[in-house]
Amino acid sequence: MPRSFAFAQVDVFTDTPTCGNPLAVVHGAAALCDTQMAQLAHWTNLSETSFLLPPSTPEADYGLRIFTPTQELPFAGHPTLGSCHAWLTAGGQPKGHDIVQDCAAGLIRIRPDAQKLFFTAPPLLRSGPLAQDLVARACAGLGLDTAELAASAWVDNGPGWAALLLNDHSRAMALTPDYAILNGMRIGIVAPSPEAGIDFEVRGFSAGGFEDPVTGSLNAGIAQWLISADIAPTQYVAAQGTALGRKGRVHVVQEGREIWVGGAVQSCIEGTITL
């Protein structure tokens, strides 16, 4: 028999509704099976749909599962912040100062700060320079000459991101990916930004054959790479989604050995969904 669940759609990493990255959130989703979650994520056709669950450990405030239209992810940044916002809006009360999310990547700490939410960047599963054959394939898929790259690195904290650093902002903005050549690669592009108040421009080309509007996991991995390599300061702002007409803003702050990645979240739709 169909059941109704509280449902929200939020917009993440933006001060303006419809200018960030949307996320569908289902509350109290423990009664849904894997197939139902996957089917709903395919139906919403958003980059991710998340499901709030009871935590599996007493240290956490809630559990979370994250699905794209084609697969489940162990972690993703914009679903982490968007789901936390939806949980708080629905009356969630954290046990401590930090909110703790229980997901397949482990326990993720989230901190409210000045009308924004920040998550701690999870450890990189893969880091270091990309192999030359992968660099060549990525460049071929983006129409780049390898000589245009300043650096490349794995920035994989779960989804499988690799990143290329360009020095030319206009070149980064002009890229048009050939997804047939990229063939499942998740490629992030980062370049210095000429815009006042923005340090870097980021673009994220998904394995699903589309450009992601604003990507928390990619920005978290890029931050760990750039800060550790002394390419970026310990506090900066990245824009993402500009090429898509969005105004995504990702705020990065290093505190000690931790990197916090955050932004504003806007509530757009609230109601129920019957499944």
CA distance 221 to 124: 7
CA distance 65 to 53: 8
Which H or E element spans position 227? helix 216-228
Domain containing 140: what range?
132-260
126 in a domain, yes or no?
Answer: no
- Same domain as 89, residue 172: no
**Look-up of token digits 């998550």:** 119
Q: Two tokens at 258?
A: 């931790």
177 in a domain, yes or no?
Answer: yes
Q: In 3D, which of 81, 107, 60, 73 has the Cα closest to residue 266?
A: 81
- Same domain as 218, residue 142: yes
- Same domain as 63, residue 163: no
Give the chain's domain count.
2
User: What is the structure's pLDDT at 114?
Assistant: 86
Whether the Cβ atoms of residue 199 and residue 233 lie closer than 8 Å to each other:
yes
192 in a domain, yes or no?
Answer: yes
- Same domain as 149, residue 53: no
User: What is the structure's pLDDT at 158?
Assistant: 86
- Same domain as 148, residue 80: no
Scored b (16 or more CB within 10 A) or e, 31-43 reads ebeeeebbebbee
User: What is the structure's pLDDT at 208?
Assistant: 81
- Same domain as 209, residue 93: no
74 in a domain, yes or no?
Answer: yes
User: What is the structure's pLDDT at 159?
Assistant: 87
pTM of the complete model beyond 0.85: yes
- Same domain as 269, residue 249: no
- Same domain as 240, residue 150: yes
Length of the chain counted residue by residue:
275
Q: Two tokens at 100?
A: 């703790």
Active-site residue, from 48, 148, 201, 270:
48
- Same domain as 49, residue 77: yes
- Per-residue pLDDT tens, the chain, 275 aa: give them: 889 999 999 999 999 999 999 999 999 999 999 999 999 999 999 999 999 999 999 999 999 999 999 999 988 999 999 999 999 999 999 999 999 999 998 999 999 998 999 999 999 999 999 999 999 999 999 999 999 999 999 999 988 999 999 999 999 999 999 999 999 899 999 999 999 999 999 999 998 889 999 999 999 999 999 999 999 999 999 999 999 999 999 999 999 999 999 999 999 999 999 99
159 in a domain, yes or no?
Answer: yes
- Same domain as 103, residue 25: yes
C-alpha angle 116-262-37 in degrees, rounded to nearest 5: 100
127 in a domain, yes or no?
Answer: no
Whether the Cβ atoms of residue 38 and residue 29 lie closer than 8 Å to each other:
no
Catalytic site includes residue 48: yes
Rg, C-alpha atoms of the chain: 18
Whether the Cβ atoms of residue 142 and residue 177 lie closer than 8 Å to each other:
yes
47 in a domain, yes or no?
Answer: yes
Strand partners, 99: 110
**Look-up of token digits 């998904």:** 206
For helices 216-228 and 77-89, angle between their N-to-C axes, nearest 10 degrees: 120
- Same domain as 161, residue 95: no
125 in a domain, yes or no?
Answer: no
What's the CATH code of the domain at 84?
A: 3.10.310.10
- Same domain as 255, residue 138: yes
